[in-house]
Structure formats: structure tokens, C-alpha cells
Amino acid sequence: MQDHSVTTNATRPRVAMITSAGLVALAVAMGIGRFAFTPILPMMQSEVGLTLAAAGWLAAANYLGYFVGALWAARLTTPWAVRGGLLLIAVVTFAMGITHALALWLVLRFAAGVASAWVLVHVSAWTLEQLYVLERVDASGMVFAGVGVGIAGAGLLCLGLMSIPVDADHTWQWFGVVALLLTALVWSAFRDRRSPRKNAEPARMPHVPWDRDRIRVALCYAALGFGYIIPATFLPAMAHRYVTNPTAFGLAWPIFGAAAALSTWVAARWLHAMDNRKLWAGCYVLMAIGVGLPVVWPGLIAILIAALLVGGTFMVVTMTGLREARAVAPQAATAFIATLTAAFALTQVIGPVLVSAVVHLPHGFAASLLAAALVLLVAAVALWRSRGIR
């Protein structure tokens, strides 16, 4: 008993460093690199006349970059991927505020997506490996809470800037400066502490042996990309339809992020013993309700409830999906996780593109929300029927 206590006390600072560094890095990568565009979108619509269709293409460019970055990430070392990715996010985010050319915006959002994928893949792998060695995998919930913390923080910062008021251009620049400061804060944490070996060959990612169940897991994880991305991209813009007060419609995104952050903590603390696929399927049902609710109940209250339901489940699904990926492909976990990330990234490109294609049609936006909800429900059924299959 005494030895265990000594070991716990000795490793506690190391665990705190790993989780805090991972949390901050994911907050920058996802809260700013991926989703800063979401709370700024209503400002860009009001100030520069950005259409919803053009917004869909900008979102799709970011998600396409995320797909490319997920494929590219395996070729990079962790220090290069995390440090380089965070720096790139800061630069391209700041640059969004110094141009109004749509073509340049598309390039910048694509680059931010690439960098975000680098950071997510390598921070996830690095923290899980470090915590596994320290026998504190349970602390990974705090790491993944960084996504929700970043989203909520970005929403609150945008809300504060709108109340001053600060225009969209300067808001982008503020986000770039914040990203740079947070990057400096965790810079030293992400360095290669291993001793270099002479003539050492780079490790090769093992091949994933595919079977029916691994294909099922991959497809169900890909459903998350299409299912959550439409409300995750357009929630503030949807709220803006019903109320013009920035304090009111701006609350949708911080609520989304706060729900995401709290959900990972709750899942890690109280739901860790639950069957992965049961939890995953249940989250998909709640998410589908949140996605479809604004269609049958148009209004600000429904949108805020949707923010809670979607925000409170998408990161739990991410954690559960990666945990299940490790379980069904233990000998090639990193390769399988990278594959799932790429599949997720590819399907989330479809959501904004679909919105851009149908938004001009009668009830086009509502139809895209219902399509996303249907995909989530189909995946929930597949997961529930395959529970306990291992």
C-alpha cells in the first residue's frame, strides 16, 4: 500500500503536465483551428455579406484539409506535427482577418484543417501512450475535454468581442494572437525525450487487417462526421435567424462547447465501465434528436437544446470510438485510429457541401438536418445490434 501511494504521488505532477498540455493543444487545434469560424460566421454574414452557401464551402475546405492532414499525420514525428500544427493554426487564423478574398479564405481554412488534424492525431496518440505507461488512462478524459474547452472559450471570446464591438476582421486577428500565446505555453511539453539511436530506421505503421466488424466500426465512426457537422457549423447562424442580439444568439456556441467539455469528464468518471457500443449508440440517438429538433420546433430554445444534445455527445462518441478502435484492432491501434480519423474527416466534408447545394431550395436546410439525423440513427442501430460481439 505504501509503495502504491509513493508511486501515485511521484507520478501526479507528470500526469498533470501531460493532461494540461494535451488539453491546451486540443483547445487550440479544435476550438480555433477547426471551429473559430462557427461563432464568427454571423459577423461575417452581417459585415461582408458572406452567404450561407459560401460559408458551406469555407467549412468544407477546412474539413477537407482535416482529411488530408489525417492521412499526412502518420508521416510526421510528434514534435514536428504538434508544434508545427499549432504555429500554422495561429498564422492562418490571423491571416483570415487581413483579406476578404474568398479564394484566399478557402486556402487558409484548408491549411487550418490540415494543421488541426496533425495536432489531434499526435496529441491523442502521445497522451494515451504516456498515460498508459503511468497507468492513468482514466485521466485521458481531461485531455479530450480540451476540445470542448476550446470551443466554449472561442465562443465566449467571440461573444465578448462582439459586445465591445469588434468587427470580424479583428476578431480573427485576436484568435490568431490567442492561438500563438497558447502555443508558446505548451511548446516545451511536446519534444522527443527518447534517446536517438544510430542507424535507427523510422517505425512503420502496421497494416490494419480488415474484417466485417472493423468495417462496421469504421463506418459507424464515419457517421459522426456527417451527423454532427451541420449543427456544429451552423448553430450560431441558425440562432441568428431568430434573434439579432449578439449576446443571445452568441450563447449557442459556448453552450455547445461547455456541454462537450463536461460530457467527457462525466463519461470518464461515471460511464467508463459501460459497454462501448451501448454508450456510443445511446449518444447517437441523443445527437440525432438534437440535430432534428430545430426542424420540428423552429426557434431559439430548440437551437439551444440542440447545442446541449449535440455538444454533449460528440466528444463522448469520439472517445468511445477511439477506445473501441483500440479494442477491435489492438495490434494495429494507431493505424486503425488514423483510418477512422480520415473516414470521419471525409464524411464531414459532405455536410457543408450538401448545405451549399440545397440551401436555396424550399426546406433545403431542414432536409439536410433530417438526413444527418437519419444517418446517426442507422449507425446507432448497427452499434446496438453488434454490442458484445467481441
Q: Is the dihedral of CA 235, 303, 47, 357 positive or negative?
A: positive
| pTM for the model | 0.82
Give tens-digit pLDDT for 292-336.
998 898 888 888 898 889 989 988 998 888 878 878 887 777 778
Give tens-digit pLDDT for 123-132.
987 887 788 7
- Say how far apart CA 352 and CA 320 lie, in whole Å: 25
Cis amide linkage into residue 196, ω under 30° from 0: no
> Considering the domain boundaries, does residue 174 fall inside one?
yes
> Considering the domain boundaries, does residue 378 fall inside one?
yes
Neighbours of 376 (CB within 10 A): 29
> Considering the domain boundaries, does residue 198 fall inside one?
no
Look at the chain and report how many structural domains it folds into: 1
- The residue whose grid cell reads 464531414 is 348
> Considering the domain boundaries, does residue 278 fall inside one?
yes
Q: What is the CATH number of the domain that holds 378?
A: 1.20.1250.20
Neighbours of 278 (CB within 10 A): 15
Give tens-digit pLDDT for 155-201.
899 888 988 889 999 999 999 999 999 999 999 999 765 533 444 34
> Considering the domain boundaries, does residue 330 fall inside one?
yes
**C-alpha 342: how far from its chain's center?**
13
> Considering the domain boundaries, does residue 28 fall inside one?
yes
In which domain, by residue range, is 123 found? 2-190+211-385
